[in-house]
């Protein structure tokens, strides 16, 4: 059971065909939902409007690769069409990870689909689940990467391959009494203003932030909780007004947390929803036609008895997002 970069990129070609369909303003659920053998994870939106999604498929569509991993979690674009992804050997079935398995790869999509370059940037021997990624500096090539099991946020220089633990505090860590398969710090996001690193903590059910030093990426203050009681909060994005759009995994919901009042508005799904089973990740559209829309993935319940299959949705936010 493996997942490859190529496989994840092939998905983007498949989704390319959906761009026309995406012009109607209704919720979009992609054709890949027809195959319940796929689980979707984090996504990124290309400047062309195509969507790149990390996914896992069973059976493996591309056997016998020289280097293989069974999960892809984070994706971040550092410069146009220069994506970086995290891979590792976390089992989506048992949730057991292989300590020291994660690496970050550079995926150059400039020549896509004719040419595609994939190169390893760094191997993380101390890491367990490299998850959400966000850009700190394009010029310096600095990206933050959450480790959801170790409970820290790493800073990686994608141009040199150097990295270190930049953020490590009680709000990124596992909660007291966490079990072996608990996931803590999950999504990460640095708004354009660049002063804070925002992060979600799955087990703690919070979104928090910490002031950062713009040059070193280290914490420059104490972390603070922005919103709590977000059950199994996964990946998230912030709009210009710092409204939060996020996925709540176990409650099968995509929600908006108002940046001023903290009020939670459910955008899609509910605790009993099968349509949105295991809400995973969100990103805003990038085209003039879909800028205020939210693209959202679900895991679907990979290999579980009530699996509905991974799916990608487009949620029309109307005036709810300031992008
Ligand atoms: C992959 O490897 C297996 C076992 O070594 C072999 O049986 C199979 O034919 C190979 N498949 C391809 C597509 O090369
Ligand atoms: C990850 O798992 C695959 C498939 O079992 C294996 O071939 C590969 O060596 C593993 N990689 C690491 C870094 O553990
Ligand atoms: C990306 O690939 C293109 C060819 O498709 C190449 O010209 C370019 O130099 C590559 N960029 C990087 C940053 O590797
Ligand atoms: C994070 O901080 C704790 C407490 O200071 C320390 O014990 C732990 O080793 C640190 N973790 C990493 C990965 O640096
Ligand atoms: C937490 O959220 C649940 C369900 O979303 C709600 O029923 C409960 O009242 C909330 N608790 C607090 C302390 O806000
Ligand atoms: C989900 O199902 C439970 C048990 O049937 C029920 O109590 C609850 O009200 C349902 N929630 C929603 C949002 O429909």
Domain ranges of the chain: 5-316
Mutate to test the pocket of ligand 1, among 6, 62, 63, 65 (most ligand atoms within 8 A of CB): 63
pLDDT of residue 57: 79
Q: What is the pLDDT of residues 155-195, one digit of tens each?
A: 999 999 999 999 999 999 999 999 999 999 999 999 988 79
Please give the pLDDT value at position 56. Answer: 83
Beta bridge partner(s), residue 134: 144
| Beta carbons within 8 Å of 173's beta carbon, 6+ residues apart | 151, 152, 184, 185
Short-list 7, 14, 15, CA closest to 290: 15
Both structure tokens of 204? 């703690």
Ligand with minimal distance to 106 CA: 3
**What pLDDT shows up at residue 114?**
92
The per-residue pLDDT for range 24-62, each reduced to its tens digit, is 323 444 433 445 788 889 999 999 999 999 888 777 766
pLDDT in the model for residue 120: 96
Domain 5-316 has CATH 2.120.10.30: yes
Predicted local distance difference test score (pLDDT) of residue 109? 95
| % of residues, the chain, pLDDT over 90 | 73
- Cα–Cα distance, 219 to 148 (Å, whole number): 18
> What does DSSP assign to residue 21?
G
Q: How far, in Å, is the centroid of ligand 5 from the Cα of 230?
A: 8
- For ligand 3, atom 12, name the residue with the nearest CA: 108
Binding site membership of 64 for ligand 1 (Cβ less than 6 Å): yes
pLDDT at 81: 97
- The reported pLDDT for the residue numbered 38 is 85
Q: DSSP code of 195?
A: S
Q: 217-233 as b/e, with b when 16 or more CB fall inside 10 Å?
A: bebeeebeebbeebebb
276-314: string of b/e by CB count within 10 Å (b at 16+)? bbbbbbbbbbbeeebebbbbbbbbbbbeeeebbbbbbbb
Weakly modelled stretches of the chain, pLDDT under 50: 1-34
Percent of the chain with pLDDT over 70: 87
Check: CB of residue 169 under 8 Å from CB of residue 159. no
CA dihedral 145→182→273→87, nearest 10 degrees, is: 40
Contact residues for 160 (Cβ-Cβ < 8 A; gap 6+): 141
CA distance 157 to 140: 7
pLDDT at 108: 95
Query: Max Cα separation, the chain?
Result: 52
* Bridge partners for 86 per DSSP: 104
Q: How confident is the model at residue 3, as a pLDDT?
A: 33
């Amino acid at each position: 059971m493996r997942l490859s970069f190529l496989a994840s990129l092939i998905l983007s070609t498949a989704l390319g065909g959906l761009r026309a369909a995406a012009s109607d303003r209704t919720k979009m659920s992609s054709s890949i939902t027809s195959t319940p053998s796929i689980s979707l994870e984090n996504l990124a939106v290309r400047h062309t409007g195509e969507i790149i999604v990390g996914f896992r498929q069973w059976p493996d569509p591309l056997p016998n690769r020289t280097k293989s991993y069974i999960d892809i979690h984070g994706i971040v674009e550092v410069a146009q069409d220069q994506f970086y992804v995290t891979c590792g050997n976390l089992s989506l079935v048992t949730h057991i990870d292989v300590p020291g398995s994660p690496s970050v790869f550079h995926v150059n999509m400039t020549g896509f689909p004719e040419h595609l370059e994939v190169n390893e940037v760094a191997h993380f021997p101390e890491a367990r689940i490299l998850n959400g990624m966000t850009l700190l500096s394009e010029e310096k090539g600095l990206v933050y990467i959450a480790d959801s099991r170790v409970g820290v946020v790493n800073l990686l220089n994608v141009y040199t391959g150097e990295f270190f633990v930049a953020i490590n505090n009680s709000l990124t860590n596992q909660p007291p009494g966490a079990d072996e398969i608990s996931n803590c710090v999950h999504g990460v996001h640095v708004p354009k203003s660049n002063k804070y690193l925002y992060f979600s903590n799955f087990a703690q059910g919070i979104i928090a932030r910490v002031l950062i030093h713009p040059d070193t990426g280290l914490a420059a203050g104490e972390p603070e909780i922005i919103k709590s009681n977000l059950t199994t909060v996964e990946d998230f994005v912030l709009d210009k007004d710092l409204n939060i759009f996020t996925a709540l995994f176990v409650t099968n919901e995509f929600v908006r947390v108002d940046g001023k009042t903290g009020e939670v508005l459910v955008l899609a799904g509910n605790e009993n929803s099968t349509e949105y089973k295991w809400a995973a990740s969100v990103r805003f559209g990038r085209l003039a036609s879909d800028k205020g829309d939210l693209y959202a993935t679900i895991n679907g319940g990979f290999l579980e008895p009530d699996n509905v299959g991974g799916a990608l949705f487009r949620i029309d936010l109307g005036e709810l997002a300031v992008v």
